[in-house]
């Protein structure tokens, strides 16, 4: 996982220092909505319905989401502006798994997610999934909104899960 993060940072640095081109790197949150795996009939939602997407430990991994229509509008804003740098493109509310996963289950009419102890998950999950469920930290869109005059149409995943899963 460290190699992947280092490679991403290297690419962002290369884009941002592209001389006269003035590059912009966008770090998107987790996509949801039509055409993604997190849509009403998508693979991720199916796992939630089958109760195969548990809360690990305290569910303290903080995720940032972004509706697919907001991905499109943010990307257009970045392409049309003369701004360089690295920016998070996420909604306004990063949230721990323990908060968003039960809400997603409710939004799609599923039973609440199961819980599994962190020590057990550590034994069976790949490292990156374990980290996503327990340790990851969400991002802030504050700089992107300021620099590009953008705001998401689904300001929070709460609204997006209720109205935007398609």
Tens-digit pLDDT profile for residues 95-127:
999 999 999 999 999 999 999 999 999 999 999
Specify whether domain 2-163 bears CATH 3.40.50.720. yes
Give the residues across from 26 on adjacent strands.
87
pTM of this structure: 0.88
Residues 6+ apart with CB under 8 A from 88: 26, 27, 29, 64, 139, 140, 141, 143, 144
- Checking if the pLDDT of 21 tops 60, the result is no
Contact status, residue 127 vs residue 71, Cβ threshold 8 Å: no
- Domain assignments of the chain as residue spans, ordered by start: 2-163
- Yes or no: say if 64 and 132 are a contact pair by the CB < 8 Å rule: no
Q: What is the pLDDT of residues 128-149, one digit of tens each?
A: 999 999 999 999 999 999 999 9
Integer Cα distance of 90 and 79 in angstroms? 17
């Amino acid at each position: 996982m460290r190699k992947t993060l280092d490679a991403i940072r290297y690419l962002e640095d290369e884009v941002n220092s592209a001389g006269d081109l003035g590059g912009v790197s966008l770090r998107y949150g987790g996509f949801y909505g039509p055409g993604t795996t997190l849509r009403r009939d998508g693979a991720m939602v199916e796992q939630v319905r089958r109760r195969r997407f548990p809360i690990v430990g305290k569910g303290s991994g903080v995720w940032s989401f972004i509706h697919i229509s907001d991905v499109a509008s943010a990307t257009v804003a970045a392409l049309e502006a003369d701004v360089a740098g690295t920016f998070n493109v996420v909604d306004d509310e990063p949230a721990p798994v323990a908060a968003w996963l039960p809400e997603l289950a409710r939004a799609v009419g599923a039973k609440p997610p199961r819980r599994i102890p962190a020590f057990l998950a550590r034994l069976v999950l790949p490292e990156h999934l374990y980290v996503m469920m327990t340790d990851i930290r969400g991002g802030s869109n504050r700089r992107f909104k300021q620099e590009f005059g953008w705001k998401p149409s689904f300001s929070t995943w709460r609204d997006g899960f209720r109205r935007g899963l398609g």
